[in-house]
Structure 1
Amino acid sequence: MTITTTVSRVVGACLLDARERRMMLPEQPAELLGTDPRTLLALEDGRLEISPRALTELTALYRYGHAQALERLLAGRPDWNGKVRDREPGHAQRLAACARSSGRVRWWSTVYLPAPLQTRNYARAMGEPSPTGPGASRPAVRNAVYVLDSGVIQHGGATPRLMAEQLDHLLSLLDSGTDIRVAPGAQVDPQPPLHVVELALPAGRVLACPNREGVDYCASGRLAFHIDAALASTDPRSSRDALVRAADSHRARTALSPTAPAPTESPADVH
């Protein structure tokens, strides 16, 4: 899969999400473009490359606030390893739009929790306000599995109260049907990025690597192996047990320091 195809799928997913949020049927934007709805759906699926003119007209119709970011993404050149970088403001919201447009999402995290699973206090400590509604009873993305390296839930020795609250939230998400797995440790060497997100978009898979500066998108390939290896090492029961043990451990540390001040360090910085 070429990087052009990858970007087309990402941009198309964002446009699909924008249209659905405006509660428009495909016929209205297709008429604006002077084409039939099937062509519009092919653009949204990423099966057709979208022209700058069509992108401008559709984003104006949807009153989409990320139009310039999508224009730069379309015009972006891949780096030496085939990734195209989204560094514009709102990159987390665009990744969330891709996740909502995906039939399946597999998210693996090796250092700190994925944004959709974060409580508000955890997100605040990380300095990464979540676009997906942290602290909600269930993340906005359906058909998702979140795979956490065991260190993700064990970090935060200086922030036990925050981490106990966060882990209780993960357990409540499990009870509401969210698929959360805890892998026993790093499965491969060298380590992959902090997050690897596999998006099963309509026309095929795309890999995303979000970080604090932005999101890197690439064709699904080598990085998907990391998710496969992490999933193969765990199961729902052992994952729940690991979350319960970690929550109990953080609560025990909280009992030893009941007047601990609010954390100034993020949970991922404290081992």
Structure 2
Amino acid sequence: MNSLGGARVVGEINPTLRRRKLAAELRRLREEAGLHGVQVARSLRWSTSKISRLETGQVAPSAKDVARLLKHYGVDDELSVLLLELAHGENKGWWDAYADVFADAVVELFGLEDGANLVRAWGSFSLPGLLQTRDYAEQMGFLARIVEMAPPGKIERRTRARLRRQRVLLKDPPLNYSVVLDEAVLRRRFGNADAKLMSDQMSHLMKMSDMPNVAIRVLPLEQPHPTDIANFILLSFPAMPVLGDISREAVYFENHPVFTLSEDEETVLQYSLVFDGLLGQALSEEESRAFIASLAGL
């Protein structure tokens, strides 16, 4: 795998990370000014709920609103210029077009992946979305038809979004992707998946493992498993000049049909240690390739 990408400039930051970074900076600046949200709202004749939405990243602030807040906090240096650049950027990513067919946490994950420079994933129930073939993704959609009674059109749009999401592995600078797969995941079939579909999926994993920024490791069934938890994804982000880290590290939990995202430092650390434990028990990359090849009949 390649080393992590360097610092990013404002124009390279996607809408999700811009919104989250602006929210964090606006909250920090208010606190450093010794002001409460109620005080700021009263001074600017805004509602307290507007301040809350801006500082939690629920909405993307307009450049006009950011300028007013920066003036109120007495910020007029290079930081002010950078924050206004963030506010002037595009407010929508490709993932926002699919907000009607995914839970909020899933849409947020797509945006975070797009801006991350390192993603670490554990697959214990199903293959991670970044590694799925179209046929496999369609059969995963079969679960939604059963569990959620989702209409075919919704399932098709979800499949389209999952495949679009995979382009993140081809971006420049590259996303470094490290994944550990439970052996059971490589053998488990969903929906109407047959032997050919699974063989094709294994061949696809072999192809993906050839990418310099992708590391796939298999945890055999006979190896001690350090955890019994469902799929999770750890996301890390590059830094920006002056502004520092674009976003705090985050962990995403995929326990269908419940999806959650956490930036709590202790939680992220806990799952980072869990992932390290999984790596310690998994086969090497070469051994994993040989294992997957045997399942593909290669």
Q: TM-score range by the shorter chain?
A: 0.5 to 0.7
- What does 1:61-210 align with in structure 2 at a 5 Å threshold? 62-64=90-92, 89=103, 91-127=105-141, 129=159, 131-133=161-163, 139-140=169-170, 142-156=175-189, 159-177=194-212, 178-185=214-221, 187-188=224-225, 191-193=228-230, 195-201=231-237, 202=245, 203-210=247-254
Q: Which residue of 1 aligns with 2:276?
A: 228
Q: Which has the higher helix share?
A: 2
For the pair 1:17 / 2:14, whether they are aligned, the reply is yes
Report the AA paired with residue 112 of structure 2: C
Q: Which residue of 2 aligns with 1:57?
A: 61
Residue aligned with 1:181, SS: strand
8 Å contact from structure 1 (residues 110, 149) kept in 2 = yes
The separation in 1 between residues aligned to 2:257 and 2:175, in whole angstroms, is 26
Structure whose CA Rg is larger:
2
The separation in 2 between residues aligned to 1:225 and 1:92, in whole angstroms, is 23
The separation in 1 between residues aligned to 2:26 and 2:236, in whole angstroms, is 17
From the superposition, tell whether residues 103 and 242 of structure 1 become closer, same or farther in structure 2 (CA, over 3 Å): same
From the superposition, tell whether residues 222 and 95 of structure 1 become closer, same or farther in structure 2 (CA, over 3 Å): same
With normalisation by structure 1, the TM-score equals: 0.59
The separation in 2 between residues aligned to 1:41 and 1:91, in whole angstroms, is 14
Q: Which shifted more, 225-234 or 130-139?
A: 130-139
8 Å contact from structure 2 (residues 129, 162) kept in 1 = yes
Report the AA paired with residue 161 of structure 2: P
Residue aligned with 1:107, SS: strand
Shift of 1:132: 4.5
Shift of 1:236: 0.8
What percent identity do the matched residue pairs reach?
21
Residue aligned with 1:131, SS: helix
Report the AA paired with residue 151 of structure 1: A
Shift of 1:102: 1.8
The separation in 1 between residues aligned to 2:53 and 2:165, in whole angstroms, is 38
The separation in 2 between residues aligned to 1:217 and 1:137, in whole angstroms, is 22
Q: Which residue of 1 aligns with 2:260?
A: 216
- What does 1:36-47 align with in structure 2 at a 5 Å threshold? 42-43=21-22, 46=24
From the superposition, tell whether residues 41 and 223 of structure 1 become closer, same or farther in structure 2 (CA, over 3 Å): closer
Shift of 1:209: 0.6
Gapped runs of 5+ residues in structure 1? Answer: 1-14, 21-25, 27-39, 71-86, 252-271
Gapped runs of 5+ residues in structure 2? Answer: 1-11, 28-50, 63-86, 142-157, 238-244
Q: Which residue of 2 aligns with 1:246?
A: 295
Shift of 1:187: 4.3
The separation in 1 between residues aligned to 2:140 and 2:16, in whole angstroms, is 31
The separation in 1 between residues aligned to 2:21 and 2:168, in whole angstroms, is 31
Q: 1:83-107 deviations in whole A, cap 9, x for unaligned? A: xxxx964543321211222221101
The separation in 2 between residues aligned to 1:135 and 1:17, in whole angstroms, is 14
Shift of 1:183: 1.5
Report the AA paired with residue 192 of structure 1: I
From the superposition, tell whether residues 146 and 134 of structure 1 become closer, same or farther in structure 2 (CA, over 3 Å): farther
With normalisation by structure 2, the TM-score equals: 0.55
Q: 1:93-148 deviations in whole A, cap 9, x for unaligned? A: 32121122222110111011001110000000000626342796883571111110
